[in-house]
Amino acid sequence: MQIAYTAKLNSGCISRQVGAVVTDENYSIKSVGWNDVAKGQVPCNLRSLNEVINFSSDTTYSEYERYDEKFQSKAKEKLISLANIEKGKNPSYCFKSLQNEIDGERNQVHTRSLHAEENAFLQLSKYGGIGIEGGKLFTTASPCELCAKKAYQLGIKEIIFIDPYPGIAIQHILHIGNNPPKLVQFRGAIGKSYQQLYEPLMPYKDELEFLK
């Protein structure tokens, strides 16, 4: 779990940082992951509303972000709302949040990032890892519905987590069928109290909202 917790510090997400480690049944580490954009793309904490509005890079900002009129309008509106932001703070933005404001929805499909567990699972395939059926998943947050299904399909037998993730993954995905994984809330040196010593008071995205 210490490795999972350290891995999450690599995340460029401005909402929530999560780390994950997959082991075999004997706790031998097979892969490590954290929530972030696909390799080769620029993470959200290094992008800014100023730059996307000024079309500064066609490799950092997507064609949709640069040329869609509704998105550009929403980005400008967001930047104006952050007029009082402290000098030196990057006006980062969450693409998913802006797109959902445009659509009037709360759709998770618009996230740019892979989830930590998803990323760890993909490393197994990307680098030719061995099967992990009967293995364990250590994650700093319990898996969402999508990652829970992947863990179930891979034959993970035990999921150890720190923070419960909001949603119905545990009741709807993991507590059903003939081969459900065991869920264990982590207790130890990383525990909740220790973790909070190093947690920011609020996600950077929320801090930007607070500064409006």
Residue 133: which CATH number?
3.40.140.10
* Window from 30-34, 113-117, 179-183 with minimum mean pLDDT: 179-183
Q: Which neighbouring-strand residues pair with 31?
A: 22
Is residue 119 in some structural domain?
Answer: yes
User: pLDDT tens for residues 11-28?
Assistant: 999 999 999 999 999 999
Is residue 208 in some structural domain?
Answer: no
Is residue 59 in some structural domain?
Answer: yes
Structure tokens at 118: 């998803």
Bigger pLDDT: 45 or 84?
45
Is residue 18 in some structural domain?
Answer: yes
What local confidence, expressed as pLDDT, does residue 195 receive?
Answer: 64
Q: What is the mean pLDDT of the chain?
A: 90
Q: Are residues 128 and 193 in the same domain?
A: yes
User: pLDDT tens for residues 129-143?
Assistant: 778 999 999 999 999
Q: How far apart are alpha carbons 41 and 60 in whole angstroms?
A: 7
Please write down the HEC assignment for all residues of the chain. Answer: CHHHHHHHHHCCCCCCCCEEEEECCCCCEEEEEECECCCCCCCHHHCCHHHHHCCCCCCCCCHHHHHCHHHHHHHHHHHHHCCCCCCCCCCCCCHHHHHHHHHCCCCHHHCCCECHHHHHHHHHHHCCCCCCCCCEEEEEECCCHHHHHHHHHHCCCEEEEEECCCCCHHHHHHCCCCCCCEEEECCCCCCHHHHHCCCCCCCHHHHHHHCC
Q: Are residues 83 and 186 in the same domain?
A: no
Residue range 84-92: mean pLDDT, rounded: 84
Structurally, the chain folds into a number of domains equal to 2
User: pLDDT tens for residues 153-209?
Assistant: 999 999 999 988 878 887 888 888 888 899 999 887 655 566 676 677 788 888 888
What local confidence, expressed as pLDDT, does residue 192 receive?
Answer: 59
Residue range 62-87: mean pLDDT, rounded: 92
Number of alpha carbons in the 13 Å side-chain half-sphere of residue 144: 10
Q: How far apart are alpha carbons 107 and 191 in whole angstroms?
A: 31
